[in-house]
Amino acid sequence: MQPLAERIQKQDQRALARAISLVENDDTEKLNLLSDIASLKKQAYYIGITGSPGAGKSSLVDRLVTHLRKQDLTVAVIAVDPTSPFSGGALLGDRVRMHDHFTDPGVFIRSMATRGSLGGLARSTKDAIRVCDAYGFDYVIVETVGVGQSELDIMKVVDTTAVVLTPNSGDVLQIFKAGIMEIADLFIINKADLSGVGKLRGQLKDFLHIMDPDGWKAPIVETISTENKGIEKLWEKCLQHKNYLVETDEGKRKRQEQLTFEVYELIREELWKDVQGFIEADDTKKQDLDRIEDPYHLAREWLFEWKRLYRG
């Protein structure tokens, strides 16, 4: 086992931060480190908070962390921010909004960039969740960037997905078109002190009735995060969903499905790196890219050439 993995096992937060930096930067030792860490996982519970920008996700997460800490539960927060087009780093830095938890040893907060991932979650974000699990946190909360129709990736990494909406925003129509209704285990109407709450709740109920899901039916919780209202109810519904996953074995099936997807994703990424290196190492191919006319023919030709080289 790598020394860094051993330090994480001993709950060294500096080692935890270092490991996440390694996976973010796609270090050459990343896969070996993650393989060691996989044997340390403690089965933390993963909660995803998603929704449009401005819905109050960060404030909700902040209040939820406070609620969990009062129960002496440890929490890791992975706050996914938009990527800076210049530095490639997280642009907003949600840690600024959660300053009350900075000095709490039972809380770890990390802002991570999407790195251009269309699903709103970079590969490194998923790896960071695994690292936090290995460290031994009770709960890992993932707050996504809020990019509308690209939020579906969250369901592939968490146990409970909560979709945050606000009254009079038109969000419910967008998420219905995007398919996010189908991944939500819980709906949160935040800023419930604004007008239009009844209309939004009615729309959600209508859509849920149309979908008529088997098994778990996503509840609707109203919150006012700025006033710390509805947080206990929100947590109660999260626990109900957690119990449902355990009692029905749905949680085990879901985790296995996620791990299977992760295997394919890791293979795809490593193959892509190999193919990209094969192309960029050839100056003639790089010149062909500058005057490309038929991308389909070129892709087929280069892939065939790479396969032939790989297979000997």
- pLDDT tens for each residue of 211-230: 766 788 999 999 999 999 99
Residue numbers of the chain with a pLDDT score lower than 70 = 82-99, 113-122, 146-151, 169-180, 212-213, 311-312
Whether residue 152 contacts residue 119, with contact meaning beta carbons closer than 8 Å, is answered with: yes
pTM recorded for the entire structure: 0.84
The pLDDT of residue 108: 94
CB crowding 87-114: b at 16 or more within 10 Å, else e: eeebbbebbebbeebeeeeebbbbbbbb
Q: Cα–Cα distance between 132 and 17 in angstroms, integer?
A: 9
Paired sense of beta strands 45-51 and 139-143, if any: parallel
Nearest to 94 by CA among 149, 147, 57, 122: 57
pLDDT of residue 211: 74
pLDDT above 70 covers a percentage of the chain that reads: 83
Residues 243, 79: Cα–Cα separation, whole Å: 25
DSSP 8-state assignment for residue 109: E
pLDDT of residue 28: 80
What does the alpha-carbon distance between residue 59 and residue 288 come to, in Å, rounded to a whole number? Answer: 50
Task: Give residue 59's Cα distance to chain centre.
Answer: 17
